[in-house]
Amino acid sequence: MKKFFIPFLIGLVCISSCKSTSEIVSLKLQMPVGNTYDYNFVMDMGMDEQVMGQAMKMNNKLTFAYKFEVLKDSAGWKTLRSTVGRMRMDMSMMGTNLTVDTNEPLADTTSPMAPLHRAFSAIKGQQFTFTIDERGKMGSVTGLDEMRKAVMQGIPGGEKMDQQMQSTFSEQSFKENMEQSFNIFPDKDVAVGDSWKKTIGLKSQGGNTKSENTFTLESVKEGKAYIKVKTNINGSKETTATGTEVTTKGSGDGVYVYEQATGIVLDGNIKMKMEMEMAMQGQKVPMKMDMNIKINGKKH
């Protein structure tokens, strides 16, 4: 028995060693200082809701462009400066199509989308700076107050909304939303087929929503890491500033393609299905949402 067991054990060790040598990879942010990257985010949302027994459908497509510059790298923390680029929204509801695009001039100042166009235009070109470690955890953020003030100046009567907007542009809110895109890296080197989990908490007025994400390294080809993700949204009941109670839950899956040398997202495609219920003034409004999120990144 022993003479069969020993060769088997040696063979098992050799297989394990070969796998570790060929398939163990390091996934982390390694963007060199001085490099600049362009990112484009597209969120395409289709919503169905019931308002007083009447079915309503709405489609909303949001496009955002950012430029990230790596300013410095110190003690494991990178400092990045982001410049907001093009912002576009295409909305379709009840037979009406509306578009806001900061790359196009505002043709009709009386349009219901005019205030949003002014707000988007005020944000375009604004800059903020943040620190992030190699695993995607956010550190400090600066420049958000200036962005908020620019938005308020771009909206007539915006100063009256300033207190409400402070929560939207808060450092904590910003960090939580940015970590949805960056905080996906495992805490250690992994092999093809390995999985790891990340739970991101999103705090809002009156409640917490948790995004539970399971990532799996599917393959590594030609310097690109293909990472599959499954997401579960488990939210508590939240109360907005207007007193509306909102309950959210959902799930999704997709694939990220990362450049292994730098950790930047070259391509991402995530599909989500969400269910929401808004309770206001004794009325409950159920809503279903299909969301497709696409991310593209490249060196500038």
**pLDDT tens digit string along 184-226?**
899 999 999 999 998 876 554 445 667 889 999 999 999 999 9
Domain count, the chain: 1
* 3 domain residue, yes or no: no
* 17 domain residue, yes or no: no
* 283 domain residue, yes or no: yes
Where in the sequence is the domain holding 216, given as residue range(s)?
33-299
Q: What is the pLDDT of residue 203?
A: 53
Residue showing tokens 């199509």: 97
Dihedral sign for Cα atoms in the order 225, 68, 205, 119: negative
* 21 domain residue, yes or no: no
* 244 domain residue, yes or no: yes
Q: What's the CA dihedral at 123, 127, 130, 135 to 10 degrees? A: 80
pTM reported for the whole predicted model: 0.80
* 90 domain residue, yes or no: yes
Q: What is the pLDDT of residue 108?
A: 78
Q: What is the pLDDT of residue 197?
A: 93
Q: What is the pLDDT of residue 4?
A: 42
CATH number, domain with residue 283:
2.30.230
Residue 29 to residue 134: CA distance in whole angstroms: 5
Of the CA atoms within 13 Å of residue 180, those in its CB half-sphere come to 19
Q: What is the mean pLDDT of each run of 10 residues along the chain (300 residues)?
A: 43 42 78 94 84 74 93 92 92 84 84 81 90 90 82 65 60 73 87 91 57 92 94 75 76 93 92 83 80 90
* 27 domain residue, yes or no: no
